[in-house]
Amino acid sequence: MSQKLLVAPYKQLLTHFRFLVTLRSQEGKYHSLIIFRLSTSGDVALGEASESSDNIEQQLYAMEAHCPHLGADISHADIEECEDSMVLVCPWHRYDFDLRTGQSDTGLKACTYAIELRPAEGGIDEVWLQTPEEGTNWRLVELRPVSEAFADPPPPPLDLSHLSSHSTQATTPAEPEPIVPDDAPTTLIQWAVLILNTADPMLKVQRTRHAVELYRTGKLKVIGHRASNPPQPPEMPPRVDSFSKNTVDPLKVSRRKNRAVMLHALANIEQWAIDLAWDIIARYGPAHPELPPAFFSDFTKMALDESKHFTLLTARLSALSPTTPYGSMPVHASLWDSARVTFASLRARLAIIHLVHEARGLDVNPGTIEKFRRAGDSESVDVLEIIHADEVTHVTAGHRWFTWVCEREGIEPIQTFRDEVRKGWKGDIKGPFNKEAREKAGMTPEFYENLRGEQDTKGIEAKMKNLEVNKTTEPPTVALHWTSRT
């Protein structure tokens, strides 16, 4: 018999109708599924026993998060009533699967998991989930609502008209660029490259939302990472002119003195983070045809999160300090500089960007939130708390795919991570560490304690120059560690 795992008090599921659940085993294996709550009697169920637990339980379903046919993300699939059962209709090829049994007329079967409501103290029911594999100890590492337009409205539009829409690398457009260009991308990789080449930050956000929506709802079915001639991501994503002029050496960016400066700096990091989420798709996808759709689901979700963070932060910045809008203060591109040294290896990218940089974010976020709290700025605290919760899931994704790569190669993840950091990072991995948040994301202390990077910056500069020279004849996806061995 497989075990049952506590998911949450039922009332926590009343905010949305779908939730992404991520489980991790002791051995570092991941499993994602979606909980569907079809009952619309949420308000009644809030502590008032008008609807019986049995009825509510009947309307809770859990199914693996990716279609057993070709791996489509089913988080936004249609649900239809079919005779006496409910079926999920996959957005990619419209196969349907019984939500309770997983059966399909096509002969395929999706994994489904029993859900049980158990009474708990105070008369509040708890949701328990049957776990996937017998004999495996699973732990819940993520429970987050799947965005639903009606329950999760996008942030208000942001006025960034003070920023020129001129790219530093593109020719001057006569009119604002449309979200979907005339030669609309037809694959996810093409969208990723288009968004990376989009200088205007708001257009980058809009295109991110649009592309992820297309991908999730099955209007964009082709990832394109196995295409023969996929487009190449840029060496460095362009920025609007006024922004580029403000880009300075990281050491010259003033120490964060006030809330507006901090919000501006964080928004800049989020803009680079949007690019990094698309870059991992565009740069490493084509070099790794073995990557499953779940990889692309995780990083499109990350791109969407980062674009949400960017709009939340810039909206807070304009509310707090209308005279210093986004783009008016000095910024730096050190996150991208770090990413450049990992161009040759997906494993290095996951280690340095997602398990060093993003994990560092988990350490410093609570202190930043506290500064805003002490200043009585509860609106910014709310924004930063949303960002912190999302960032835990991003480090989780980094850990998930880093261990996936290591498993394919038959190598041990902790030692491999430490080796990657020694090669791709300069200086100590600094604490103090937020051990609790790191551990939630899979980063136990053995990964990062007493670790020092010995990056040879001179060697890296020479390599980057070499890459520049070879750029016209060779795509910048230099030999990847793990494909060369598999």
Among 70, 140, 320, 414, binds ligand FES (CB under 6 A): 70
∠ at Cα 202 (284, 235), nearest 5°? 30
> Three-class SS of residue 448?
helix
14 binds ligand FES (CB under 6 A): no
* Residues binding ligand FES: number (CB under 6 A): 8
Burial 338-347 (b: 16+ CB within 10 A, else e): bbebbbbbbb
Q: Which of residues 23-42 bind ligand FES (CB under 6 A)?
A: none
Residues near 441 by Cβ (< 8 Å), separated by ≥ 6? 141, 359, 362, 392, 393, 395, 396, 398, 399
Beta bridge partners of 85: 82
Q: Which of residues 442-481 bind ligand FES (CB under 6 A)?
A: none
Structure tokens at 432: 């103090």
Q: How far is the CB of 98 from ligand FES (least distance, A)?
A: 14
Nearest Cα neighbor of 357 from 252, 273, 447, 456 is 273
Residue 244 phi/psi, 5-degree rounding, is: -60, -40
Report the alpha-carbon distance of residue 71 to residue 298 in Å, rounded.
13
CA 231 to the chain's CA centroid:
22
67 binds ligand FES (CB under 6 A): yes
69 binds ligand FES (CB under 6 A): yes
The smaller minimum CB distance to ligand FES, of residues 72 and 263, is found at 72
90 binds ligand FES (CB under 6 A): yes
The smaller minimum CB distance to ligand FES, of residues 300 and 434, is found at 300
> Three-class SS of residue 66?
strand
Q: How far is the CB of 434 from ligand FES (least distance, A)?
A: 38
The smaller minimum CB distance to ligand FES, of residues 90 and 260, is found at 90
72 binds ligand FES (CB under 6 A): yes
Beta bridge partners of 64: 33
The smaller minimum CB distance to ligand FES, of residues 290 and 370, is found at 290
Torsion angle, alpha carbons of 289, 291, 296, 298, to 10: -170
**Pattern 171-190, ligand FES, x by CB under 6 A:** --------------------
Among 92, 191, 284, 447, binds ligand FES (CB under 6 A): 92
95 binds ligand FES (CB under 6 A): yes
Stretch that binds ligand FES, among 63-71, 157-165, 345-353, 425-433 (CB under 6 A): 63-71
Q: Which helix (H) or strand (E) holds 216?
A: helix 201-216
The smaller minimum CB distance to ligand FES, of residues 72 and 129, is found at 72
Among 48, 80, 93, 119, binds ligand FES (CB under 6 A): 93
The residue ranges that bind ligand FES (CB under 6 A) are 67, 69-70, 72, 90, 92-93, 95
